[in-house]
Chain A
């Protein structure tokens, strides 16, 4: 909706007309005019009201996007607050009819036949269709010439089409299966929301909500749509599903940022409200919500080509080029020699078709299907067969830190008391070691931890293990609560023994939290936690081994060291202290005033430090290790403080201890950060909702990290070890072609010579049939020699860098089976009776099997030398040019 826009609001008595006009400088001038009810005709007003109410919220959000804060803060919030009755039911149903239900629409489905057709129209498939067409044309020409005997071209065409269709069915079946699984996710849980309509509060299904509805959310609810907060009491939301930030974020009516994505007065669809309550007006529903847009964006990504698709396209280009080049050459030669045009044409077509690797497509599909099946056994749904290869050719994984590498829950990791750092158990199932808990100081610290804490368990979770219980409260308090629940036992009961007399909540200005509790009958206990340095300022004593000692320089020094140590681990450190108030000064029933602070807040007794971290998941270091041994770089993307990021990265093995950051190198070399020529392992980037909206590569750092890794050469050959029967070989084998051809044709020639010593020499005469068998024998030997060389080739292709000796020749059992099968197949084709007349294979002498062996060995030796050079001199010319 374009400015200027006008918003009219109906109140009980007055009508506000809010007019906004766009000025030349782009700013909005907002005028609010108060008008009397009688100024205008009633019917006109009624209709206007209705119309405007309908458009109200939409307009509001559009304005919000256009002019940001000004619109909302000056007029809209005022206007919105007048809208307390909520929508009428009829209006709601009208808007619902107009906008559709409040749910994320699945991306537009493609018709099934289109999906199937797409499976038949990939790069290789197209090549094969063309080949089949050419075959049919050639067959037609031959028929036309009256040559009805050879139906080879027809058979070839049928075989080509069959391969395309069968593999297409495979791919389609896979996609069909996975689509079903994904579809079943959609109807997970119907969600309820509390809505105010016509002044009445009622729970309805969240998908019935419409723009303009007034809704209430409270701690534990999922936000049912994008909501502009009107009123809030201590409302905090967890935006981690959108941003990955585990830190709860406050939501309040005030506008704090120009961008609707950053401002504090908007709560987003699908995020969780952790605590507090809020009411708000719905500004976006369904796919128009932020998450909906992200979902739409994300579904737009799938059109990007997978590496294997690009690879195959490239391959098809090369094959097509070669085929046409050689076909044309032979055509010209044939014409020059004097063949008739049509015959030369058939010749041309035969050569073009001969270049089409018929087996490749089937091999690719079978390989990918098998992998997909294996993945399915590990509970991974493969949506698209080609994605399997994409997964396999990963060279960089950019992982979000929070929730992916880490557990997404703060956990107490270290404690400092009695001038000693203790390590707490941070494993997910609490199976780790505990520390010495016998000290008096620990008991005091523990008391502070459990009492000075506003978080509490949601009721009814007694049977749930502590780490998994749902806690209402912020992340640090949750961590502390769970920690004390595990170490102490029932915290809730413990808290009941101390009545809360007064509490000053944690805020960013004082950075501490004080609460006073009554101990037993007549003494008050003051407990305080907060930023360690602030806490220390207020302490005059420190508790060591249960004794209160004066806080002298020595202890301050010790404190500083411990604080620095813990801070250096990238952990969030909190200090704890307490004070028993004297019963005479503060008798029972003393009125504590939180605002006036009529109690001592200094001269306290320091109890200890506790540090917390979002610990890595137990399985992550192993997974990272596996990735790295597989040559995949793992990059962690986080918005955390560099020290924290470094600590986490080190603990999961992404970086090793003591490695330098880009900043470190920059300072060492005295150059700007941008010029540091190093591939990063950890990328720090400011993450905000805005950036989430633009998918990943928009982040320049990440893109730089990723593109640095792209390998120019294909992995097609690695993926397809069993394509050894294939006549063409693959892209990466191109340099081998002449080699293989030479060797095979060499063997071919020998045998031909052996069999067919020139007539002049012997004047031996043989019949046509005998000559034919001799030709077949030569074919067979050619085939066998290619087979033998391909075995050498596949052994080479096991590794790209390592020596085959390092890798082990026969570790891949499947490959060994394939080689054995290959040999058996070769033997079968050679020696099975009747083969000469079926496949034109002749039984060959045993020694002819051995002729290609030296060639295979030579290929192998050459490749070992090549790999040795690559290993010895990484980055050299040799490496760059000869690493396939």
Chain B
């Protein structure tokens, strides 16, 4: 045992270590000779080279199976999401009427968003479709019906919230407009041939009075069926997403208002599911400070 247990001195350890790094007797660097290193590196070069090649190949093969225009699966999108404009990080629209800078960005955002909805652009690019009907454009027995036409959604439809008459979208006089849109889902027929509309309300019953009246544009917050289905960007050129605007007419000042807007359609179940807060509904906070 005594032979086994001898403690190595620091110097010995250093010498051993040095010898491991470069052994002059056997010409070994880190325990391998030059040719040995070369061989093993070559092997791993070939090995990993092969792996990379194989990875690339299989990746390419897989990419071939994908359609250029359509996502392969969209079976989990039965409830389209909702979103508002102007969009902030926490969906929190707070501003001070007298302080122009606080709402200027909102107005800019809305203006930018509504740019493609200008009547002139819509007139130039899109068709005037029959309201109340789905605008189906099926392919004929494998012959692609391409590109598909989109329906007009004129900015003027939003009336008070179009930003045409009132360029500040009512933010100046404390009656702000919020735009609500529904996510595009490819080949989705919302409402199942019945009208669909968006309604907004205070999140809690007791806040309804404080929130005051709201005006919806188009009327009732209706979304016409002619804007559906959506066929995907590449196919459905110039598609214009329908939007609904809500104008708060009589907001109590200096108070947080939690508002929730929902889509009401026959085939969209907007259950109060806490996990997905944007499925078929959208909640936001709005607050106007007096001074």
Interface of A toward B, CB cutoff 8 Å: 297, 300-301, 304, 694-695, 697-698, 735, 738-739, 742-743, 746, 749-750, 753-757, 760-770, 773-774, 837, 845, 854, 858, 877, 881
Please determine whether B81 and A773 come into contact, CB atoms closer than 8 angstroms: no
B 67-82 to A, binary, CB cutoff 8 A, 1 in contact else 0: 0111111101100110
Q: Are B183 and A766 in contact (CB under 8 A)?
A: yes
Instruction: Please name all residues of chain B whose beta carbon is closer than 8 Å to the beta carbon of A742 when the two chains form the complex.
Output: 51, 55
Q: Are A881 and B40 in contact (CB under 8 A)?
A: yes
23 CB contacts below 8 A, A to B, read: A297-B1, A304-B4, A694-B1, A749-B59, A754-B66, A755-B71, A760-B233, A761-B69, A761-B234, A762-B71, A762-B186, A764-B74, A764-B183, A764-B185, A764-B232, A765-B80, A767-B81, A769-B275, A769-B276, A769-B279, A770-B81, A774-B76, A837-B275
Given the contacts A738-B51, A761-B232, A754 and B73 also touching, CB distance less than 8 Å: yes
- For window 186-234 of B, CB contacts with A under 8 Å fall at 186, 232-234
| Binary interface encoding of chain B residues 26-46 relative to chain A, with 1 for a CB under 8 A from any of its CBs, else 0 | 000000000000011001000
Residues of B within 8 A of A300 (CB): 1
Besides the known contacts A765-B183, A881-B40, 15 further A-B residue pairs in the complex with CB atoms under 8 A apart:
A746-B59, A753-B62, A757-B70, A757-B72, A760-B233, A761-B234, A764-B232, A765-B83, A765-B185, A767-B81, A768-B277, A769-B278, A770-B276, A837-B275, A858-B54
Q: Nearest Cβ distance between residue B287 and chain A, in whole angstroms?
A: 23
Q: Is A301 within 8 A of B1, CB to CB?
A: yes
Q: A698 touching B3 by the CB < 8 A rule?
A: yes
Given A739-B51, A762-B69: A877 in contact with B4 (beta carbons within 8 A): no
Q: Contact between B76 and A773 (Cβ–Cβ < 8 Å)?
A: yes
Report the bound CA distance from A107 to B66 in whole Å: 72
Closest A residue to B280 using CB positions: A767
With contact pairs A754-B72, A770-B77, A877-B39 given, residues A763 and B276 touching in the complex (Cβ less than 8 Å): no
User: Does B98 touch A at the CB level, under 8 Å?
Assistant: no
Q: Complex: how many Å from CA A749 to CA B39?
A: 34
Is B113 close to A, CB under 8 A? no
A768 contact set on B, CB distance < 8 A = 81, 276-278
A695's contact among B1, B40, B83, by CB below 8 Å, is which? B1
The reply to whether A763 and B43 contact each other, CB–CB distance below 8 Å, is: no
Q: Knowing A742-B51, A770-B76, say if A697 contacts B4 (CB, 8 Å).
A: yes
Nearest A-chain residue to B47, judged by Cβ: A735
* Cβ of B118 under 8 Å from chain A: no
B285 at the interface (CB under 8 A from A): no
B48 and A738 form a contact (CB under 8 A): yes
Assembly CA distance A694 to B5 (angstroms): 13
A-chain residues with CB within 8 Å of residue B55 when the two chains form the complex: 742-743, 746
Q: Which residues of A contact B39 (CB under 8 A)?
A: 877, 881
Task: Tell me the nearest residue of chain A to B40, going by C-beta.
Answer: A881
Q: Is the CB of A767 within 8 A of B278?
A: yes
Once the chains are docked, how many angstroms separate the CA of A395 from the CA of B37? Answer: 29
B87 within 8 Å of A by Cβ? Answer: no
| Residues in A neighbouring B83, C-beta threshold 8 A | 765
Q: B250 contacts the other chain (Cβ, under 8 Å)? A: no
Partner of B233, one of A746, A753, A761, A773: A761
Complex CA gap A495/B185 in Å reads: 112
Complexed CA–CA distance, A769 and B183 (Å): 13
Give Cα A769 to B270, complex, Å: 14
Contact assessment for A766 and B77 in the assembled complex, using a CB-CB cutoff below 8 Å: yes
| B184 interface hit (Cβ, 8 Å) | yes
CB distance from A751 to the nearest CB of B (A): 9
Shortest distance between the CB of B154 and any CB in chain A (Å): 21
Chain B residues contacting A773 (CB-CB under 8 Å) are 76
Q: Does B125 contact A (CB under 8 A)?
A: no
A755–B186 CA distance with the chains assembled, in angstroms: 13
> Residue-by-residue, is B171-190 near A (CB-CB < 8 Å gives 1, otherwise 0)?
00000000000011110000
On whether the beta carbons of A765 and B81 are closer than 8 Å, the reply is yes
Residue in B51, B59, B71, B184 whose CB lies within 8 Å of A757: B71
Does residue B128 face the partner (Cβ distance < 8 Å to A)? no
Nearest first, the 8 A-B pairs at minimum CB distance are A769-B276, A767-B81, A765-B183, A763-B233, A767-B278, A757-B71, A754-B72, A762-B232
Question: Is the pair A761, B1 in contact by a Cβ cutoff of 8 Å?
Answer: no
Complex formed: what's the CA distance from A56 to B62 in Å?
A: 93
CA distance A301 to B68 in the complex (A): 70
Query: What CA separation (Å) do A417 and B83 show in the bound complex?
Result: 111
Q: Which residues of A contact B186 (CB under 8 A)?
A: 762, 764
- Assembly CA distance A550 to B58 (angstroms): 94
User: Do A767 and B48 touch (CB < 8 A)?
Assistant: no
Closest residue on chain B to residue A855 by CB atoms: B58
Residues of chain A within 8 A (CB-CB) of B234 are 761-762
A858 to B51, CA, bound (A): 10
Nearest-neighbour CB distance to chain B for A692, whole angstroms, equals: 13
- By a CB distance below 8 angstroms, the chain A residues around B4 are 304, 697
The complex places the Cα of A300 from the Cα of B5 at a distance, in Å, of 11
Minimum CB–CB distance from B230 to chain A (whole Å) comes to 8
> For the complex, what is the distance from the CA of A608 to the CA of B268, rounded to whole Å?
109
Chain A residues, CB < 8 A from B3: 694, 698
Residues of B within 8 A of A697 (CB): 4
Find chain A residues with CB under 8 A from B71 CB: 754-757, 761-762, 764
B182 nearest in chain A by CB position = A765
Which residues of chain A come closer than 8 Å to B51, judged between CB atoms? Answer: 738-739, 742
For A837, what are the chain B residues with a Cβ–Cβ distance below 8 Å?
275
Q: How far is the CA of A297 from the CA of B5 in the complex (A)?
A: 12
CB distance from A210 to the nearest CB of B (A): 29
Bound together, the chains give a CA A189 to CA B77 distance in angstroms of 82
Q: Nearest chain A CB to B280's CB is how many angstroms away?
A: 9
In Å, the complex CA distance between A750 and B74 comes to 15
Min distance, Cβ A136 to any Cβ of chain B, angstroms: 29
Our pick among A750, A755, A761 for the contact of B62 (Cβ within 8 Å) is A750
B278 x A763 contact (CB < 8 A): no
Smallest distance from the beta carbon of B116 to chain A beta carbons, Å?
13
The CA of A746 and the CA of B1, in the complex, are separated in Å by 54
Residue of B at shortest CB range from A753? B66
Roughly how many angstroms separate A718 CA and B69 CA in the complex, as a whole number? 49
What residue in chain B is nearest A751 (Cβ atoms)?
Answer: B73
B279 near A767 with CB under 8 A, answer yes
Closest Cβ of chain A to B76, distance in Å, is 6
Chain B residues closer than 8 Å to A738, beta-carbon distance:
48, 51
B183: A residues at CB distance < 8 A: 764-767
- Residues of B close to A877: CB separation below 8 A: 39
Query: What is the CB-to-nearest-CB distance from A499 to chain B, in angstroms, rounded to a whole number?
Result: 58
Kindly list chain B residues whose C-beta atoms are within 8 Å of the C-beta of A735.
47
